[in-house]
């Protein structure tokens, strides 16, 4: 199945795998690739039907997300959808967060991974209440969490015993941003090892978040990473978004992240 996502106006389109190559011939040849703005469904005999089905899936997801949010509101549990590419440091940020709070047992984690309980075990060991979602188990190995999956995980948590809940989404720079899971805020962990251009290449993710934790700052002296250019690219796609520079490995900058969390809880 081709990729499918929604625009800012909530309309959607898919991406198949057609490759059109048109070039300008007005006074010369342009070899710049042209963007396929609407998605190529010519490879699918059922292209239009696919879009209808996928739009219904998104509609159902949004309905279930609203139900999740209402459930969390009734329990008084602030919920954050934590997203990143694989290896950016989400779990380490959460470990540091749990170690810094007076009662980590009041924090819940919905841990999303395609396979294994490795990250869930790490967070349980620091005292969090963890509900594991392996998307390979009955969900087809999805590269993201969606609202029905999160509803399933909520059933296995004592919400009345929580103050704060993190949804640690599957590591992916595209799909997790497309599905509302019912969280109140969305936060991205971004590692400086990923380069300055990613906000421009993956704008859906960077546009969807309320804050960006810029992680692995301890590596800055060893990288050709232009922090000013990254900030410029980020502000281009999400003007005004807050950035928090940290090294989850060393703990540097975590106070600023914890202060952001306290403001979000109000």
Query: How do residues 197-228 score in pLDDT, each as one tens digit?
Result: 999 999 999 999 999 999 999 999 999 999 99
User: Which contacts (CB < 8 Å, 24+ apart) does range 2-11 have?
Assistant: 2/39, 2/41, 2/43, 2/44, 2/50, 3/174, 4/50, 4/51, 4/54, 5/174, 5/178, 5/204, 6/58, 6/178, 8/207
Q: What DSSP letter does each residue of 52-111 carry, written as one string?
A: HHHHHHHHHHHHHHHHHHHHHHHHT-EEEEEE-STTSSHHHHHHHHHHHSS-GGGEEEEE
Q: 3-state class of 127 per DSSP?
A: coil
d(CA 183, CA 205): 15
Which of 17-21, 27-31, 259-263 is the least confident region? 17-21
CATH among 3.20.20.150, 3.40.50.300, 3.40.50.10800, 3.40.50.2000 for 55-265: 3.40.50.300
CA distances from 124 to 24, 104, 120, 161, 219 (A): 58, 10, 6, 16, 28
d(CA 167, CA 110): 5
Q: What is the pLDDT of residue 143?
A: 94
- The answer to whether 144 and 134 have CB atoms below 8 angstroms apart is no
Starting at the edge strand that comes first in sequence, how are the strands of the sheet with 242-245 ordered? 129-134, 107-113, 164-168, 78-83, 185-191, 211-215, 242-245
The residue behind tokens 């963007």 is 35
Q: What is the pLDDT of residue 51?
A: 77
Q: What is the pLDDT of residue 15?
A: 38
Residue 212: closest CA among 226, 197, 192, 229: 192
Q: 151-189: per-residue pLDDT in tens?
A: 999 999 999 999 999 999 999 999 999 999 999 999 999
Indicate if the pLDDT at residue 35 is higher than 60: no
- Domain boundaries along the sequence of the chain: 55-265
d(CA 196, CA 78): 31
- Band (pLDDT 50/70/90 cuts) for residue 34 is low
């Amino acid at each position: 199945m081709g990729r499918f996502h929604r625009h800012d106006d909530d309309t959607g389109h898919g991406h198949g795998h057609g490759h059109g190559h048109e070039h300008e011939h007005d006074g010369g040849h342009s070899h710049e690739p042209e963007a396929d703005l609407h998605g190529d469904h010519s490879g699918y005999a059922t292209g239009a039907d696919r879009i209808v089905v996928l739009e219904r899936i998104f509609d159902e997801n949004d309905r279930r997300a609203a139900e999740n949010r209402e459930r969390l509101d009734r329990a008084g549990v602030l919920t954050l959808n934590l997203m990143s590419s694989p290896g950016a440091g989400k779990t380490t940020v959460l470990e540091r967060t749990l170690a810094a709070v007076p009662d980590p047992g009041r924090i819940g984690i919905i841990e999303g991974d395609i396979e294994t309980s490795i990250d869930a075990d790490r967070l349980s060991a620091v005292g969090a209440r963890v509900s594991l979602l392996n998307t390979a188990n009955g969900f087809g190995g999805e590269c993201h969490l969606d609202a029905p999956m999160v509803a399933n995980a909520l059933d296995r948590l004592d919400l009345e015993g929580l103050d704060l809940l993190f949804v640690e989404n599957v590591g992916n720079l595209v799909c997790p941003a497309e599905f509302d899971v019912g969280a109140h805020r969305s936060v991205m962990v971004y590692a400086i090892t990923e380069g300055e251009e990613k906000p421009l290449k993956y704008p859906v993710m960077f546009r969807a978040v309320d804050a960006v934790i810029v992680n692995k700052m301890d590596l800055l002296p060893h990288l050709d990473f232009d922090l000013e250019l990254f900030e410029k690219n980020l502000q281009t796609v999400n003007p005004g978004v807050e950035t928090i520079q940290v090294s989850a490995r060393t703990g540097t900058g975590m106070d600023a992240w914890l202060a952001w969390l306290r403001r979000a809880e109000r």
